[in-house]
């Protein structure tokens, strides 16, 4: 007999942050930098904990160059060659502390990751990313990577529930990626019926991770700076963005022009587009679990970054948090049925 | 005094499946075949338990020929003649174990079905389909068909509640079709106000049927592969699809073009379109309870089949089910307010 969990789980769109009394005089007083010490690698981190997703459209070296100027982080996608990494490392030594090298669980991915980390020892972060972080196979893989790289900080995912966050942390991961199906170009929920509303997933997983002195990344589902603030408010240590950083000069792919409007392609990493590009097509036994969209070209990502950081600073002043660190402690979410007055706008 | 059942009943869109730990390494390891032995016919079945609906647009012989290659099932619509059946049986003998003959409760339907089953004895499934499976007349009809065909497996419906599932099984049906009004071209809910959210209907009806060693079909309401997975997760033994299989090459009707887009017609079997076609119009005393839509032409159904089966395999790996059989045991539904990110849709 299937089980129904009768608690309604919530998405970002189901809540707003309640304002609270504040002694802050200006948004400029808000400190968005966070410092962490990781459970298993024992490394420390300091920066604004927003991460460009390891998708080949946004997790690019061009993106990393701009993001590192703002102390933001980039999970560089796994499709760059060793030579490309070496070239980037030679020209941008200052950015390397704000980068992760990515890998799936395949042996060719892992061999390349080893080569990159050996060639560029300044890269201290590893992003182990699979669609389904619940497989025993993945747990074993995390253990192997931890053994091989005892002093690298390991991000691993994706999962959405506390027990699996705990398992991955105890298997050697430092930071757990949380999110199944919330992304704007992810179709996992339509193709499989599996998923978990992102706000509830972040709250539950943050609680599990923090109990073990681990950390989490809220990965996916943010469609505006307010959602990023809600993810931090819900307890996320890091927030990973794909769609919000898509469509910029620094994003991968060519600029397309149609009817005088400029676009860039953005697609999920399990979409037909990505599977054709890197795996020679969609295997017979699987369905594509991502889509491809044309997003309007938004120019340089610098403007978008300022917009996001300005939004979060404003959130912090509304709830009386002088530092990003205090945001989740000051957070009270209220449940709502609509986010904004829709008269002159689109969704968010 | 009317009574309000205060328990909220749920549709597919109200839930998602919670992922669970899994020892599967790849989607390719998942086994989607199921084997059943039916309560009353004593026949056994083995295959991927997805059924094309007995609608004249999708439940076609052309569809059956493709479905059978994937061990999937087709409930052939009731408007083919005996000669059509004989021709199909001669040309596609390998398909016959994966099809059902359909009938309503009318005398003409029954006579035609009888002649088909006599002429093509390899067909062992009967689909008795009426809009309202709650009528005593239908219960009597099921008993009659059972007496006449003791060794055929009988699908019967549609109903949405446990007590009627039990009644039909005890009257001789093996597999109960569950769903009143969930279909994409069904207007029963707007025309009558009657219906039952499909996820809850499946959970409740599966529980009743399995208690008597009967089986159920979740019929209607699936809009994407994820919904099919949810229906199986809720306890459906079979899932019947109409709209998801519409608009393909193998569907009846011509492809037509409008504004450069290729389209095919799809309609409910109680719609104006169907009643005009098969009954000479909508009878004065009734309303049409279906609509007609133009669906984009989707090409060969093969691609859609692979997409659905690939989605189901992925679901099974997410919840740690090595076989489709284990899916409902591994299913925990969480309640949600939205299915997916709508930024780009």
A101-155 confidence digits (pLDDT tens): 999 999 999 999 999 999 999 999 999 999 999 999 999 999 999 999 999 999 9
A186 marked ligand binding residue: yes
Q: What is the ipTM of this complex?
A: 0.87
pLDDT at A186 over 70: yes
Tell me the whole-structure pTM to 2 decimals: 0.91
Does residue A132 sit at the B interface (CB-CB below 8 Å)?
yes
Q: What are the structural domains, with CATH classification, of chain A? A: 15-335 (3.20.20.70)
Q: What is the CATH number of the domain that holds B26?
A: 3.20.20.70
Cα gap A171→A174, rounded to integer Å:
9
Which residue range(s) make up the domain with B171?
A: 15-335
Is residue B36 one of the residues assigned to a domain?
A: yes
Q: Which two tokens stand for residue B24?
A: 């599967």
Q: Where do runs of H (alpha helix) occur along chain A?
A: 61-69, 82-91, 107-119, 136-148, 162-170, 188-192, 198-211, 225-233, 272-279, 301-319, 324-327
- The separation between CA A24 and the C-alpha centre of its own chain, rounded to angstroms, equals 29
pLDDT at A33 over 50: yes
What is the phi/psi pair of residue A161, to 5°?
Answer: -130, 155
3-state helix, strand, coil in chain B (%, to 5): 40, 20, 40
Specify the 3-state DSSP secondary structure of A50.
strand
Q: If contacts are CB pairs under 8 Å, which of residues 24-83 in chain A contact chain B?
A: none
Does residue B292 sit at the A interface (CB-CB below 8 Å)?
no
Is residue B111 one of the residues assigned to a domain?
A: yes
* Structural domains counted in chain B: 1
A23 marked ligand binding residue: no
pLDDT at A82 over 70: yes
Residues of chain A with C-beta less than 8 angstroms from the C-beta of B208? none
What is the phi/psi pair of residue B73, to 5°?
Answer: -115, 150
pLDDT at A344 over 80: no
Contact yes or no for B17 and A10 at CB 8 A:
no
- Considering CB atoms only, which of A11, A132, A283 is closest to B318? A132
Helices H, strands E: what count in chain B? 11, 15
- Considering CB atoms only, which of B311, B328, B344 is closest to A293? B344
Q: Please work out, in degrees rounded to the nearest 5, the angle formed at the alpha carbon of residue A113 by the alpha carbons of A112 and A117.
A: 120
Average pLDDT score over chain B: 95
Cα gap A241→B343, rounded to integer Å:
14
Contact yes or no for A1 and B310 at CB 8 A:
no
Is residue B342 one of the residues assigned to a domain?
A: no
B231: nearest CA partner in chain A: A193
B240 pLDDT tier (thresholds 50, 70, 90): very high
Is residue B4 one of the residues assigned to a domain?
A: no
B267 pLDDT tier (thresholds 50, 70, 90): very high
Residues of chain B with C-beta less than 8 angstroms from the C-beta of A220? 341
Is residue B8 one of the residues assigned to a domain?
A: no
3-state helix, strand, coil in chain A (%, to 5): 35, 25, 40
A220 marked ligand binding residue: yes
Closest-CA distance of chain A to residue B248, Å: 18
B321: nearest CA partner in chain A: A135
- Considering CB atoms only, which of B18, B235, B312 is closest to A196? B18
- Considering CB atoms only, which of B12, B27, B335 is closest to A8? B335
Is residue B145 one of the residues assigned to a domain?
A: yes
What secondary structure does DSSP assign to A160-221, as a single string?
A: -SHHHHHHHHHTT-SEEEE-SS-STTB-HHHHH-B---HHHHHHHHHHHHHHTT-EEEEES-
Q: At what angle do helices B301-319 and B61-69 cross, to 10 degrees?
A: 40
Does residue B6 sit at the A interface (CB-CB below 8 Å)?
no
Contact yes or no for B21 and A190 at CB 8 A:
no
Contact yes or no for B331 and A293 at CB 8 A:
no
Is residue B9 one of the residues assigned to a domain?
A: no
Contact yes or no for A136 and B230 at CB 8 A:
no
């Amino acid at each position: 007999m299937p089980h129904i969990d009768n608690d309604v789980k919530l998405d970002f769109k189901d809540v707003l942050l309640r304002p609270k009394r504040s002694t802050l005089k200006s948004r400029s007083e808000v400190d968005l930098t966070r410092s962490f010490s990781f459970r298993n690698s024992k490394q420390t981190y300091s920066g604004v904990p927003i991460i460009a997703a390891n998708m080949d459209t946004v997790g690019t070296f061009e993106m990393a160059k701009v993001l590192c100027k703002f102390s933001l982080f980039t999970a560089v996608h796994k499709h760059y060659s060793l030579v490309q990494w070496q070239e980037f490392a030679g020209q941008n030594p200052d950015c390397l502390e704000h980068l992760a090298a990515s890998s799936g669980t395949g042996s060719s991915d892992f061999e390349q990751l080893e080569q990159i980390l050996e060639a560029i020892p300044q890269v201290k972060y590893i992003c182990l990313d699979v669609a389904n972080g619940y497989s025993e196979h993945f747990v074993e893989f995390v253990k192997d990577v931890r053994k091989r790289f005892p002093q690298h900080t390991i991000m691993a995912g994706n999962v959405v529930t506390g027990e699996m966050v705990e398992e991955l942390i105890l298997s050697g991961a430092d930071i757990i990626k949380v999110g199944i199906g919330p992304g704007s170009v992810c179709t996992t929920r339509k193709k499989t019926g599996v998923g978990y509303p992102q706000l509830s997933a972040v709250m539950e997983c943050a609680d599990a991770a923090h109990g073990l002195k681990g950390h989490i990344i809220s990965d996916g589902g943010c469609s505006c700076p307010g959602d990023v603030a809600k993810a931090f408010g819900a307890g996320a240590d890091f927030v990973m963005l794909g769609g919000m950083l898509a469509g910029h000069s620094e994003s991968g792919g060519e600029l397309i022009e149609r009817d005088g409007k400029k676009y860039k392609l953005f697609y999920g990493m399990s979409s037909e587009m990505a599977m054709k590009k890197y795996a020679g097509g969609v295997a017979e036994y699987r369905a594509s679990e991502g889509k491809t969209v044309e997003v309007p070209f938004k120019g340089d990502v610098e403007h978008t970054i300022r917009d996001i950081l300005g939004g979060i600073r404003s959130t912090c002043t509304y709830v009386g948090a002088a530092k990003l660190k205090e945001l989740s402690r000051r957070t009270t979410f209220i449940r709502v049925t609509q986010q904004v007055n829709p008269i002159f706008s689109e969704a968010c | 005094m009317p009574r309000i059942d205060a328990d909220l009943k749920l549709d597919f869109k109200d839930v998602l499946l919670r992922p669970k730990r899994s020892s599967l390494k790849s989607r390719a390891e998942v086994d989607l075949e199921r084997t059943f032995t039916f309560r009353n016919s004593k026949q056994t079945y083995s295959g991927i338990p997805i059924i094309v609906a007995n609608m004249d647009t999708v439940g076609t012989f052309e569809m059956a020929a493709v479905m059978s290659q994937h061990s999937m099932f087709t409930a052939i619509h009731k408007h083919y003649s005996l000669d059509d059946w004989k021709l199909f049986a001669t040309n596609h003998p390998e398909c016959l174990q994966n099809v059902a003959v359909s009938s309503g409760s009318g005398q003409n339907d029954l006579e035609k079905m009888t002649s088909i089953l006599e002429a093509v004895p390899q067909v062992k499934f009967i689909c008795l389909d009426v809009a309202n499976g709650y009528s005593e007349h239908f219960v009597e009809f099921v008993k009659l068909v059972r007496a006449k065909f003791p060794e055929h497996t009988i699908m019967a419906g549609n109903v949405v509640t446990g007590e009627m599932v039990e009644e039909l099984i005890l009257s001789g049906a093996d597999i109960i079709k569950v769903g009143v009004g969930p279909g994409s071209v069904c207007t029963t809910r707007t025309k009558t106000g009657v219906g039952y959210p499909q996820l809850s209907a499946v959970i409740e009806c599966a529980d009743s049927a399995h208690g008597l060693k009967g089986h159920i079909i979740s019929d209607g309401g699936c809009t994407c592969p994820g919904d099919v997975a949810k229906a199986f997760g809720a306890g459906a033994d079979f899932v019947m699809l109409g709209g998801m299989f519409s608009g393909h090459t193998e569907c009846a009707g011509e492809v037509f073009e409008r504004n450069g887009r290729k389209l095919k017609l799809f309609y409910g079997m109680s719609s104006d379109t169907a009643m005009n076609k098969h009954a000479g119009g909508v009878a004065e005393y009734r309303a049409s309870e279906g609509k007609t839509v133009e669906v984009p032409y989707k090409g060969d159904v093969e691609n859609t089949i692979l997409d659905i089966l690939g989605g189901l395999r992925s679901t099974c790996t997410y919840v740690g089910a090595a076989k489709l059989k284990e899916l409902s045991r591994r299913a925990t539904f969480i309640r949600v307010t939205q299915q997916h990110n709508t930024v780009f849709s």
